[in-house]
Amino acid sequence: MAVRAIRGAVQVDADEREQVLEATAELVREVMRRNELTTDDVISVVFTATPDLTSEFPALAARKVGFADVPLMCATEIAVPHALPRVVRLMAHVETDRARADIQHVYLRGAQALRLDIAQ
């Protein structure tokens, strides 16, 4: 069993609480599905949001989909002038038998443009 990091991001249509929660939950569920994980496999998750997203903590969405005892943290991305707006990112640290090359990084909605090289 190895410790691996999984990256992901989703762009939100507007800074509205329900949209942040729904998009983040979609991202979390998709990371889990594509990498065949359970919450027992997850060590921790760091969420970031661009400075234009302030209506809710992205980690709350993970709590609502079953991450009750997983350590979660939220932070703000640095305000880079040409950055894609309204983006929630995550980095999940997991225990898995998958090789690093087999990890599925997940970029949804407009966030696919962030990492065309690794987005699945």
Mark whether 4 is an active-site residue. no
Options 4, 56, 86, 89, the catalytic residue: 89
Options 4, 56, 86, 107, the catalytic residue: 107
Mark whether 115 is an active-site residue. yes
Report the alpha-carbon distance of residue 99 to residue 59 in Å, rounded. Answer: 27
Options 34, 63, 98, 109, the catalytic residue: 63
How far does Cα 23 stand from its chain's mean position?
9
Options 22, 26, 77, 98, the catalytic residue: 77
Task: Give the β-pairing of 87-96 and 2-11.
Answer: antiparallel
- Listed residue (88, 86, 108) closest to 34, CA to CA: 108
What count of residues does the chain have? Answer: 120
Options 26, 30, 74, 98, the catalytic residue: 74
Mark whether 29 is an active-site residue. no
In the block, tokens 């993970």 appear at 62
Mark whether 100 is an active-site residue. no
Q: Which residues are catalytic?
A: 7, 63, 74, 77, 89, 107, 115
